[in-house]
Chains A and B, each alone.
Chain A
Amino acid sequence: MSGQAAPGKLIAQQAEQQGGVLAKLVIFALALGFVPISSYFLSRDYLWAGNTIYAAITAIISANLVLVAYIIESVREESRLRAREKQQQPAESKKDR
């Protein structure tokens, strides 16, 4: 009976994962579009007193920070997935017995 339930559980698990992944991707896509331009204009007007070169450098640094945050988040998600899989494996083997 556990053999019949396994595909359904797998699909439900993957659907839950995909939902979380999609939300994260949308957030990062919006951040990549919004953060550099807003940091350019805000830093030009309030931080660097009109100096456009420093404002452009600020925008570039903020865009690369979004990239670094994405890389870190993707590596963390994979390690989270590995930890979850290791946790679930002993539970299933107990049921099989």
Chain B
Amino acid sequence: MSLCPPYAPFFGFAGVASAMIFSTVGAAFGTAKSGIGIAGLGTFKPELIMKSLIPVVMSGIIAVYGLVVSVLIAGGLKPTDYPLYAGFIHLGAGLACGFTGLAAGYAIGYVGDSCVRAYVFESKVFVTMVLILIFAEVLGLYGLIVALIMNSHATEAHCT
């Protein structure tokens, strides 16, 4: 059992891919679901469209979180002298960011859809919507923080 087997980069690359893939799935769900509500609002009050696009921008930020973690992990991958410890860390970091991004995008989608529809009738829903969306977005931020903390330990193991 060696510390640096040749299949270790598999886990590293799987971490990079999963960070990007799952956070993008979450962002896509958030964009699509809130886009349905925005299309509904657009038929009644087109002047409110720019305010109602805030859920879409927040879903974009979830995807940016996944992108930043992918770039961060990919910067630490090496073809040789890559311990399995580092591979597992990178996989864990990618999964942490990816699945929390999925959860955040899910929440942003549903909240964005219903709040944007309610905004047609009651303009005070806007502040409520922004507050709920911020709470939904920090779920993705927590996953990113955990990914950063895990990734900082990736250089601790050595092959000898």
> Chain B: how many interface residues by the 8 Å CB criterion?
27
CB pair B54 A71 closer than 8 Å: yes
Please judge, given known A-B contacts A24-B50, A74-B50, whether A63 and B148 are in contact too, CB under 8 Å.
Answer: no
Which residues from chain B contact A14 at a C-beta distance below 8 Å? Answer: 46
> Chain A: how many interface residues by the 8 Å CB criterion?
32
Please report the C-alpha to C-alpha distance between residue A56 and residue B71 in the assembled complex, in whole angstroms.
9
CB distance from B10 to the nearest CB of A (A): 22
Which residues from chain A contact B51 at a C-beta distance below 8 Å? Answer: 74-75, 77-78
CB pair A53 B152 closer than 8 Å: yes
Please judge, given known A-B contacts A21-B49, A78-B51, whether A56 and B60 are in contact too, CB under 8 Å.
Answer: no
Which residues from chain A contact B65 at a C-beta distance below 8 Å? Answer: 60, 63
CB pair B75 A74 closer than 8 Å: no
CB pair A17 B47 closer than 8 Å: yes
Which residues from chain A contact B72 at a C-beta distance below 8 Å? Answer: 40, 52, 55-56
List chain B positions with a Cβ less than 8 A from chain A: 46-51, 53-54, 57-58, 60-61, 64-65, 67-69, 71-72, 75-76, 130, 141, 144, 148, 151-152
List chain A positions with a Cβ less than 8 A from chain B: 14, 17-18, 21, 24-25, 28-29, 32-33, 36-37, 40, 52-53, 55-57, 59-60, 63-64, 66-67, 70-71, 73-75, 77-78, 81
